[in-house]
């Protein structure tokens, strides 16, 4: 009777080991046969019913079986643990010959690159960078810059107004007036920033970037303007680049000029980029109108100044031969990548 039970337990445990698929199955068999309420444990509890003279033999027999099953389960468990570890390691193996997955590196937008290049060149010439508000009072955007009340740029069709007094600045020249109010000469500043006008075509955008320059000191003449901008052109474009001044008109400068660059593509012979003229229009500039100096409380009999304002998009288009400004705003990564 007892023998049958023992045989059953041994067979049951061995077949559980045989059919086990993983270490967990072995763990379950351990509980089932050797655990607190396991089959063999229950049988051991029945020892008290065995006649006293048989007890030592039966007891030994049960202990031997327990030791034997324990050893068999342990071996199986170790075998599974080993196999599972090997499989895990195999699955984790790195194939170092596989080519790596491409990661996208970030890059600066071409307009940021161009703006930084321009700013750095002027910093190298001793200019200081100044910031101004994009939502501006019409006094700084127009009045302080000698722009008369009836000037077309003040018209609501040409400027984004926010109420009667405030507007989205149409030019970074507005920063000039702020700086001259607060700072006395010598002044040598550069003001990069966004400006806004209701224009939208291949060469205009409702939002674009400008960089304004202003120098105020004693004895400044248009030769200083030419020297500074000529140096800038050589550094920004190429050492061979020349500039030329053409008469122009801005209310805040007198005289006013347009500054052209010799065309880098054809070296001045005339090509598609420069529309056959050999020159590319780059920026507006001039000698600061004494009325502008006086308006900000600077003595125009003692000080003079020169100023210039350039479009960053324009500079990028000229430098890289970009035909349409909208390419800079479409944010097509394939296009922008080329400038990295």
Q: Exposed, middle or buried, 51 (CB in 10 Å: 0-12/13-18/19+)?
A: exposed
Residue 316 interacts with ligand DAH (CB under 6 A)? no
Number of Cβ within 10 Å of residue 40's Cβ equals: 23
Q: Which of 69, 264, 285, 328 binds ligand DAH (CB under 6 A)?
A: 285
The position carrying tokens 């049951």 is 12
- Minimal distance in Å, beta carbon 283 to ligand DAH? 7
Check binding of 205 to ligand DAH (CB under 6 A): no
Rounded alpha-carbon distances, angstroms, from residue 327 to 85, 98, 209, 317, 322: 56, 37, 15, 10, 8
The site for ligand DAH, by CB under 6 A, has a size of 11
CB of 322 to ligand DAH, least distance (A): 20
Give yes or no for residue 253 binding ligand DAH (CB under 6 A): yes
Residue 132 binds to ligand DAH (criterion: CB under 6 A): no
Check binding of 309 to ligand DAH (CB under 6 A): yes
**Token representation of residue 138:** 């019409």
Contacts of 38 (CB under 8 A, 6+ apart): 30, 31, 32
Which 259-278 residues touch ligand DAH, going by CB under 6 A? none
Closest distance of CB 241 from ligand DAH, Å: 20
* Beta carbon nearer to ligand DAH, 264 or 310: 310
What is the C-alpha to C-alpha distance for residues 255 and 251, in angstroms, rounded to an integer? 9
Among 169, 286, 292, 315, contact with ligand DAH (rule: CB under 6 A): 286
DSSP assignment string, 278-326:
SEEEEEEEEEEPHHHHHHTT--TTT-EEEEEEEEHHHHHHHHHT-S-GG
Q: Which residues, 16 to 75, sit near ligand DAH by CB under 6 A? A: none
What minimum distance in Å lies between the beta carbon of 132 and ligand DAH?
Answer: 13
CB of 239 to ligand DAH, least distance (A): 26
- Residue 173 lies near ligand DAH (rule: CB under 6 A): yes
Residue 80 or 142 with smaller CB distance to ligand DAH: 142
Candidates 94-102, 216-224, 264-272, 279-287; binding stretch for ligand DAH (CB under 6 A): 279-287
Residues sharing a CB contact under 8 Å with residue 326, sequence separation 6 or more, in sequence order:
202, 205
The nearer residue to ligand DAH, 30 or 178, going by C-beta atoms, is: 178
* Residue (180 or 307) nearer to ligand DAH, CB: 307
Alpha carbon 336 to chain centroid distance? Answer: 13
Q: Is the CB of residue 296 less than 8 Å from the CB of residue 177?
A: yes
Binding site for ligand DAH (CB under 6 A): 171, 173, 212, 250, 253, 284-286, 307-309
């Amino acid at each position: 009777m007892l023998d049958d039970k023992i045989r059953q337990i041994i067979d049951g445990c061995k077949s559980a080991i045989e059919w086990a698929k993983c270490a967990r199955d072995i763990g379950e068999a351990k509980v089932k046969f050797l655990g607190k309420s396991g089959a063999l444990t229950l049988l051991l509890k029945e020892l008290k019913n065995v006649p006293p003279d048989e007890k030592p033999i039966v007891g030994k027999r049960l202990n031997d079986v327990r030791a034997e099953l324990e050893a068999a389960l342990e071996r199986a468990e170790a075998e599974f643990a080993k196999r599972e570890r090997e499989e895990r390691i195999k699955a984790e193996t790195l194939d170092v010959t596989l080519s790596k997955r491409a990661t996208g590196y970030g890059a600066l937008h071409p307009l940021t690159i161009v703006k930084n290049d321009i700013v750095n060149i002027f910093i190298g010439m001793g200019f200081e960078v100044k910031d101004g508000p994009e939502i501006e009072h019409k006094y700084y955007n127009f009045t302080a810059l000698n722009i008369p009340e009836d000037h077309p740029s003040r018209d609501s069709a040409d400027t984004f107004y926010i109420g009667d007094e405030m507007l989205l600045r149409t030019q970074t020249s507005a920063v000039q007036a702020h700086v001259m109010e607060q700072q006395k000469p010598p002044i040598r500043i550069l003001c990069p920033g966004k400006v806004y006008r209701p224009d939208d075509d291949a060469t205009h955008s409702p939002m674009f970037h400008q960089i304004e320059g202003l120098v105020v000191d004693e004895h400044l003449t248009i030769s200083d303007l030419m020297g500074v901008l000529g140096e800038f052109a050589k550094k920004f474009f190429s050492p061979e680049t020349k500039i030329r001044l053409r008469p122009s008109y801005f209310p805040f400068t007198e005289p006013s000029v347009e500054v052209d660059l010799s065309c880098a593509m054809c070296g001045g012979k005339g090509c598609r980029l420069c529309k056959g003229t050999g020159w590319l229009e780059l920026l507006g500039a001039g000698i600061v109108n004494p009325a502008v100096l006086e308006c900000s409380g600077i003595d125009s009999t003692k000080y003079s100044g020169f100023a210039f304002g350039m479009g960053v998009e324009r500079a990028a288009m000229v430098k890289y031969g970009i035909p349409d400004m909208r390419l800079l705003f479409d944010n097509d990564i394939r296009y922008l990548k080329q400038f990295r």
